[in-house]
Amino acid sequence: MNPDRRDFLKLAAGAAVLASLPLQHCLAAMTGKLSVAAPLGLPQVILARALQDPDVNARIPERELRNWRTPDQLRAWLARGEVGLSATPTNVAANLYNRGVPIVLMNVNIWGTLGMLGLPASGPLTAVENLAGKHIGIPWRGDMPDLVFRFLIRKAGLEVDRDLRVTYQSSPLETVQMFVAQRLDAAVLPEPVRTAARLQAGQFGQKPEELDLQEEWGRLTGQGAALPQAGVICRRDLLEADPQALEVMQSAIGRAVSWVTSEPAKAATLGAELSPLAENVYQGAIPRTQMVMMPASKARPELEAFLTALAELSPDFIGGRLPDTGFYLPDAVS
């Protein structure tokens, strides 16, 4: 669910135009139809389940779930008022807001999706310190997987080029292909791609080492082993037009997250119905992903700490500054 950081900036382009466009589609969403967008993966499963919620069905009879494949596609949908809500990485949401796009962060629901796979022949992988002298592959230079990784190795006293080699790939698929071909010692990957890579490696007789980067964050920082990585945004116009409908959606998203974690087999079946990813990929990804729905205002302290840490490596990652209070859905709604 993490596109190239350069595309993040494209996603935010034209914010001033976006704010001035007519929003007939968006406003119509809350009176009869709600269009929601999500990338492939568990965020899509969460929103699909939320849209099936009886309370949502009673409040919003007509609902639509779209799959956004590129940030430009999502930007266009937002610009035309075709989509009112969307699952998105938290840094993308912050970047959009800071560049003038009229959005509100409703919640954070993904708190851990990043990990590493390592070739057993390259030695143990129980801590980032084990990466010294190794070749690491990372998709999307400058995006969340890259910045989390670089933050962690710096905390561990390692330095790229001096202590280890890093190469970047244009997509997770390319990283997976290089890892399975044993052209990398280790790879940084989000779920569910990490599970897909592990399963593919198993077909070639490999049993990769695994390292949870959230646990490494907790170990190296002394903070919690949970990172506010993704959530749901809505257009501010929807909040102003019908806050009660957003309250219904917020509650439904919370129930959907609980359902995914408590009914992983059913959630995996739903995920496979929605995407080309196989059911066993979702079955492996769900227990490796931390999912807890927290209203944005309550997640704010942890989100600000997380974004501040990564923005030290790349200020443009969040649009140059932390979002102000207007970014967060008010408590009265959430």
Tell me: the pLDDT tens digits for 36-81?
A: 999 989 999 999 999 999 999 999 999 999 998 876 677 678 767 7
Number of H helices, E strands in the chain: 16, 11
- The predicted model gives 183-196 an average pLDDT of 97
- The predicted model gives 241-259 an average pLDDT of 96
H helices within the chain, ranges in order?
5-12, 15-20, 24-31, 42-51, 54-59, 71-79, 90-98, 144-155, 172-180, 193-203, 213-221, 236-241, 243-262, 264-274, 279-285, 296-311
Q: What is the pLDDT of residues 130-161, one digit of tens each?
A: 999 999 999 989 999 999 999 999 999 999 99
> 């506010």: which residue's tokens?
228
Per-residue pLDDT at 5 exceeds 50: no
- Report, in this order, helix, strand and coil percent for the chain, each rounded to 5: 50, 20, 30
Q: Considering the domain delimited by 5-111+229-327, tell me its CATH architecture.
A: 3-Layer(aba) Sandwich (3.40)
b/e for 285-318, b at 16 or more Cβ within 10 A?
bbebbbbbbbbbbebbebbeebbebbbeeeeebb
Task: Give the whole-number percent of the chain exceeding pLDDT 90.
Answer: 78
Poorest-confidence range of 17-31, 88-102, 320-334? 17-31
The pLDDT assigned to 4 comes to 44
Q: What are the boundaries of each domain within the chain? A: 5-111+229-327, 114-221
> 């969340």: which residue's tokens?
144
Taking the C-alpha atoms of residue 230 and residue 97, their distance in angstroms, rounded to an integer, is 15
Per-residue pLDDT at 29 exceeds 50: no
Supply the DSSP symbol for 289: S
Domains 5-111+229-327 and 114-221 share a fold: yes
The pLDDT assigned to 74 comes to 75
Please give the model's pTM, rounded to 2 decimal places. 0.88
H helices within 181-242, ranges in order?
193-203, 213-221, 236-241
In the CATH scheme, what is the code of domain 114-221? 3.40.190.10
- The predicted model gives 245-265 an average pLDDT of 97
Per-residue pLDDT at 15 exceeds 80: no
Confidence bin at 98 (pLDDT 50/70/90): very high
The pLDDT assigned to 30 comes to 47
Per-residue pLDDT at 13 exceeds 70: no
Per-residue pLDDT at 93 exceeds 50: yes
- The predicted model gives 158-172 an average pLDDT of 96
Confidence bin at 14 (pLDDT 50/70/90): very low
Q: What is the pLDDT of residues 288-333, one digit of tens each?
A: 999 999 999 999 999 999 999 999 999 999 999 999 999 999 987 7
The pLDDT assigned to 11 comes to 39
The radius of gyration computed from the CA coordinates of the chain, to the nearest angstrom, equals 19
Per-residue pLDDT at 238 exceeds 60: yes
Average pLDDT over the chain, rounded to whole?
Answer: 89
